[in-house]
Amino acid sequence: MGSSSLGNGLVLVHGGNLFDDLKVSKLFVFGDSYTDTGNTGKASSYSWKIPYGWSFPGKPDGRFSDGLVLTDFFAEYLGIKSPIPYKFRRIRGKYLGHGMSFAYGGAGVFSTWFPLPNMTRQINFFQQVLKKDRVYSKRDLNSSVALVSLCGNDYFVYIFRNGPIQGWKPHITHVVNQLTLNLKRIHGLGVKKVAVTLMQPIGCLPMNSLRYSFQKCNETQNSYVTFHNHLLLQAVAKLNKQTKDSPFVILDLNRAFKTVFANKGSSKFVNILKPCCLGIRPEFQCGSVDPKGVKIEIRNL
């Protein structure tokens, strides 16, 4: 097992070579808000409202960030442009050459509280694009890479529904088993390399460190992440043993987050766990406005 830096603290953990033997021309993306570049609907998502898109591209464009998301960084690492969102495939056809993102913010391996396509449906969309619409050829797939992000929505739903503590490990096992099937299916559709994320320390996210006044992480939830990542590493290693050329690659988001926590850089971030923008009450988010359009948020930077 080796590793390679992708930049910005993101580390690739892999069983063989990475993409050196593959001239990548297309990226296909599946997952959640870490990789969604505009699929989630404008009416239902804060990602289409200010201050999202503030740093890039200068206005809200559907990314769940003030700037770039993981899809953009990964595409840059591969030396290609970010793929277009699946939703815009018919009106931005000239960009199809870079691949396509099927990711939806709020999605999970299974259905979450949002009426969004889960990962199985996202792969169904991909299969339809290949088999029915015939947008991409076998030659296209031979130079393609898939990025799969699973960053916690299945677990946030479990927390929200007050799932029992004793049910955590069976639930995590269920999620990772389905994720493993999804990885096999994507590769089976012809994608040469499939990269999947390890989960970030969700106990350090603002929604979970809020109860500690952003002074420390929820280590109980981080322990669940450790178990998830352990199972996923085992699953990917097994897939690579069963498949020629070790096509499955791990992106270690967990280490990336911890690297940032340890090297916070800018002096603006006095408290690395405190969000730069949040709602004035838990039911509000960054970008929330009242019925009169007045912002109901607090910005710390």
Task: Report the C-alpha gap between 36 and 153 in whole angstroms.
Answer: 14
Query: Which residue type, as a one-letter code, is found at position 184?
Result: K
- How confident is the model at residue 1, as a pLDDT? 47
Whether residues 250 and 283 share a domain: the answer is no
- Of 93, 105, 102, 106, nearest to 120 by C-alpha is 102
228 in the same domain as 139: yes
Question: Do 10 and 72 have their domain in common?
Answer: yes
Containing domain of residue 154, as a range?
Answer: 2-263
Least confident span in 41-55, 63-77, 177-191, 251-265: 41-55
Q: Dump pLDDT digits (tens) for 39-77.
A: 887 666 777 677 777 777 777 776 878 789 999 999 998
Q: How many domains does the chain have?
A: 2
Pair of tokens at residue 255: 């280490």
Are 84 and 46 in the same domain?
yes
How would residue 16 be classed by pLDDT, with cut points 50, 70 and 90? Answer: very low
235 and 136 share a domain?
A: yes
Average pLDDT of the residues in 185-195: 96
Q: With beta carbons less than 8 A apart as the criterion, state whether 254 and 200 touch.
A: yes
What pLDDT was estimated at residue 198? Answer: 97
Q: What is the pTM of this model?
A: 0.87
Mean pLDDT across 109-136: 93
The full DSSP string for 14-63 is ESS--STT----EEEEESSTTT-BS-S-TTT-GGGSTTTTTTTTSS--SB
- CB within 8 A of 2, min separation 6: which ones? 13, 14, 15
Query: What's the Rg (C-alpha) of the chain?
Result: 19
- Do 50 and 96 sit in the same domain of this protein? yes
The verdict on 103 and 41 lying in the same domain is yes
- For residues 204 and 256, membership in a common domain is answered with yes
User: From the centroid of its chain, how far is CA 65?
Assistant: 12
Query: Which residue in the block uniquely carries the two structure tokens 């870490």?
Result: 34
Whether residue 139 is found in the same domain as residue 220: yes
Judge contact between 229 and 254, C-beta under 8 A: yes
**What's the average model confidence in pLDDT over 211-236?**
92
> 137-162, pLDDT tens digit by residue?
999 999 999 999 999 999 999 988 99
Residues 175 and 277 in one domain: no
CA distances (Å), origin 258, targets 123, 140, 291? 31, 36, 39
Question: Domain check: are 292 and 149 in the same one?
Answer: no
Query: Which pLDDT band, with edges at 50, 70 and 90, does 89 fall under?
Result: confident
Sheet of 193-198, strands arranged across: 2-7, 10-14, 248-252, 193-198, 144-148, 26-30, 99-101, 84-85
pLDDT class for 279, splitting at 50, 70, 90? Answer: low
Per the CB < 8 A criterion, the answer to whether 295 and 288 are in contact is yes
| Pair 236, 297 in one domain | no
